[in-house]
Chains A and B, each alone.
Chain A
């Protein structure tokens, strides 16, 4: 699936729930199947700045596509990073760099996260984009 197609399906999934508690339940569930970062990368070098809870993110390139893995000590944060991973993992670095991430506004994730969390969300997206850009320049 393309990034846009995945985004659309996530927007649809989110819109099924009116209540934010249900959306959080979904994020918590999502956190449980996050591709977990290899233990060797779970260190300060892979820590994302700007998050109140700790988030580690790793990316690797295989057959021209970027694969992300992550972990967080907070479950909701882990759900959020996995949501981003679902959208961006397995895509080409060029597609990732060019991706329009405005679906985050559409599902209301940004406005429903407290500013500190919201900053964390932006930091996560930025870090994923940075990885993609580095890979893109290498290609």
Chain B
């Protein structure tokens, strides 16, 4: 495999990859939970606190104006990364979960009435299910679920039928965090639009790995977490079409989000500020901007190809292990591989592999309904990022084989 980027040069930008655990070199395959951060991101946030720290939007003084400009530039960078029409269509949040809670709460006030329905898919993680479930329960409505098959592929015929029940919103993952399925979101968005139903895309697992163009997708909303795309924790966001954001009521109140306030009445600031109550995480937003620029500095097509190569190589090597069973075998997958070996409990395997320096995730991956569907207690999941190598996959395979032999 030849790639258009220098993997050693990329790895040098992630100092944590040089550390050891239990005296062994770290192999970090828990990128779907959070990715590591490159120096440019760490330095950007550090520099903010060293030289620029200030509360934004309200100060008249120099630092405040400078920080406000930097923060708004970060919004522009994220907007251009997603190809949003207008940078004000980007709302900064703490991440995917907060973005989805914002949408569920706000749509709960604006759009959803008693007895209405919301449509999600069977492969959603809790963050794209529980907020909808709780909201719709309060409305005595119904949460509809797009079924999937044993390979982890959504049933689009069933989806079409469910759309006919006129759900108020469709909210689906771009890439499944347990099954790795890449859902045909463009097609699914177009299908929902035939019935005039707005669509939310959960991009938590896709934004670091794939080119996202929200105008081309034509989704109403797209949510993401910074920390899963090389940015600091505590920052993420939501893209929304302006006509939607304008009519949606605020999620939280106080701070910068107001226009005029009296004890009788409060009017709210314009989009995006209406949705950013309180002092935002400016340092992390600047870190997110640095992460976006880091990703943009790479050949995106080459990145996609390289990551696909890692996934294919890992899957190929794993399939040689006796008793291996893959959870999630959709034809189009991205970023991760979930598996079980014989009747070995995922925790046992994960614990031993950890002792050999390989960081995997075991358990239900915050997607318990998915585990229930496959009737398993959890899976072992290896998830990859741009800095991983086939050499690391070889170490991982050896560790898994050794652990499996101990446990058989």
Q: Which residues of A contact B (CB under 8 A)?
A: 20-21, 24-25, 28, 52-54, 73-77, 112-114, 117
Contacts and interface: CB of A to CB of B under 8 A. Distances in A.
Contacts, number: 44
Contacts of B347: 52-53, 74, 76-77, 117
Interface string B333-368: 000000000001101100110111000000100000
Contacts of B348: 28, 53, 74-77
A73 B363 CA distance: 13
A76 B354 CA distance: 13
B360 to A, nearest CB: 12
Contacts of B22: 20
Contact of A24 (B344, B377, B406): B406
A73 B343 CA distance: 10
Interface residues of B, number: 15
Q: By DSSP majority rule, is chain A's interface helix, strand, loop, or mixed? A: helix
Given A20-B22, A24-B406, A28-B406, A73 B345 contact: yes
A48 B120 CA distance: 33
- Residue in B344, B348, B352 whose Cβ sees the most chain A Cβ within 10 Å: B348
A25 B356 CA distance: 14
Contacts of B363: 52
A24 to B, nearest CB: 6
A135 B352 CA distance: 37
Given A52-B363, A54-B377, A113-B351, 11 more contacts: A20-B22, A20-B355, A21-B352, A21-B402, A25-B406, A28-B406, A74-B345, A74-B348, A75-B345, A77-B345, A77-B348
Given A53-B347, A114-B351, A28 B377 contact: no
B302 interface: no
A53 B352 contact: no
B345 A24 contact: no
Contacts of A54: 377
B29 to A, nearest CB: 16
A21 B347 CA distance: 15
A39 B354 CA distance: 33
Interface in B388-406: 402, 406
Contact of A73 (B355, B356, B377, B406): B377
